[in-house]
Amino acid sequence: MTTTAEYVIVGAGSGGSALAYRLAEAGRKVVLIEFGGTDWGPFIQMPAALSYPMNMGIYDWGFRTAPEPHLDGRRLATPRGKVLGGSSSINGMVFVRGHACDFDHWAETGAAGWSYADVLPYFKRMENWHGSEPGTDADWRGHDGPLHVTRGPRANPLFEAFIEAGRQAGYPGTPDYNGPQQEGFGPMEATIWRGRRWSAANAYLRPAKRTGNLRILRGLAQRVVFEGRRAVGVEIARRGRTEVIRAGREVILAASSINTPKLLMLSGIGPAAHLRENGLEVRADRPGVGANLQDHLEIYMQYAAAQPVTLYKYWNLWGKVSVGAQWLFTGRGLGASNQFEACAFIRSAAGVRYPDIQYHFLPLAVRYDGKAAAVGHGFQAHVGPMRSKSRGHVRLTGPDPRQAPEILFNYMSHPDDWVEFRRAVRLTREIFGQAAFAPYLRAEIQPGPDVTSDDEIDAFIREHVESAYHPCGTARMGAADDPMAVVDPEARVIGVEGLRVADSSIFPRITNGNLNGPSIMVGEKIADHILGRSLPRAEVTPWIAPDWQTRQR
């Protein structure tokens, strides 16, 4: 069976949804292939329920890493959304654009046209920011886009204690880390609107369907179909049959930084020797496919609370039922927040030009899998370096599209990672030691007050560090003559025709903070490349600490 559209997109996640919307809005006929099902239901739509969908097989691909050699062979979870909205439907809803210097680095390393001046107009176009009055921040923020960006109420006193502790430790405050100044302590932003998760499905797919130009097909993409060197469609398994979805113009892969390189390799695009090992014909020898895998790691610095002001009071059956019922009937209350309402971006040392450590503060001592600390009332900061030099890979485990790929991040393989993480632990202890936390802090839970030497901190990191779930980089964008680049600066796969990539796979280097925002921006910008248009550059001057070369704060 064959279905035909002008554009065939694989993956209904952050990049794919934004791309589908802009193409459909422009009058193009689009088929979007998604293996996952509906995103409807309280576990996804209620912000406070964020720990559930990323641990549910119905919504998550369930990937795990290969044994990580520098983390004592641990296998870490690598959740990826298997649902409409992709990972934006199972993530923590934190909205971070990344630092301006991140995108300037992209451009400097071969991704021409992707500097901050080039991408800022797309960040503005995609967002409807509710943090200020329209017109007061026209150079930096957008107010007309489909993606609502809001801030939590910060009603819990611990949020302001965290921000004030940062100031007391000598760090700047920042009123808007997505605006001119990322560095500092301040309120965190989220893709939440009127008490609901504002995923890419809510922001982009539903409006796209209303145009009449988008059709969503549920099926497992197995390979890209070629005629000669040109991609002409996608083969999918659907309802027990194999079908080909033909593309009159182009095929675009937006299946995640795990599944996109897998699909490229299944289609004969990748490292030639690896493809032959798996019995696959080599269509284009691109050794960068599946390479350059990056992520953010973090640890939970947890503290026991001296007062019962944390969310632990709701961490029981009755508490969860009451929070859920209030949200279900009113759309308000604790259920309407992801509880990440305060944050920070700091530099780890003098000579670091822009922030390289990120904090998410949470007024509860709990893991992503929903397991609360045994001490009861507590709070924590998720902290980790943002520009690890470690690189890993995604590889096939066989030619069967149903087989999960091998995922090896090679976490902590670079010696600088250990130096940066030790600094993060010690700087965090200093922040929580400020007077602002004196009324609230009883004791350190983990790493624990006895964990002080480099060796002791390293041992804690090996045992307890977790992924922040920000994989990217496995189809790196670069100059067309770069042998390790997979796509050119217009996101076209090098070596073939009619095929692009539009997700976090194309990031040359990981950006500061959470990746949902820049992944959506990628979909927005690539839509304009496809449509032959572009927004004017935004010439602005982001804030950089004037004494960064000599002072850490």
Q: Catalytic residue positions?
A: 470
Tokens of 74: 């641990």
Q: Please give the structure tokens belonging to residue 467.
A: 């992924």
Task: Determine if residue 225 is labeled as part of a ligand binding site.
Answer: no
The kind and range of the H/E element at 343 are strand 342-346
Residues pairing with 185 in the sheet: 173, 344
CA distance 413 to 386: 15
514 is in an annotated binding site: no
DSSP class per residue in 328-342: HHHS-SGGG--S--E
Dihedral sign of CA atoms 49, 78, 110, 532 in order: negative
Is the four-CA dihedral 150, 154, 159, 163 of positive or negative sign? positive
Nearest alpha-carbon partner for 504 in 518, 487, 491, 514? 518
Query: Is 512 annotated among the ligand-binding residues?
Result: no
94 is in an annotated binding site: yes
Q: What is d(CA 415, CA 292) in angstroms, rounded to the nearest whole number? A: 17
Residue 193 burial (CB count, 10 A): 18
> From the centroid of its chain, how far is CA 457?
27
- Answer yes or no: is 91 a known binding residue: yes
- CB within 8 A of 130, min separation 6: which ones? 148, 149, 150, 151
Q: Which two tokens stand for residue 146?
A: 């489909």
**Cα–Cα dist 249/262, whole Å:** 23
Locate tokens 């080039």: which residue?
A: 118
Q: Under 8 Å CB-to-CB from 362, ≥6 apart: which residues?
A: 339, 340, 379, 380, 381, 382
Token output for 415:
């010696």
How far, in Å, CA of 94 to CA of 83, rounded? 19
DSSP string, 312-328: GGG-SHHHHHHHHHHHH
DSSP 198: -
Q: Give the H or E element holding residue 159.
A: helix 157-168
What residues are designated binding site for FAD? 83, 91-94
What residues are designated binding site? 83, 91-94
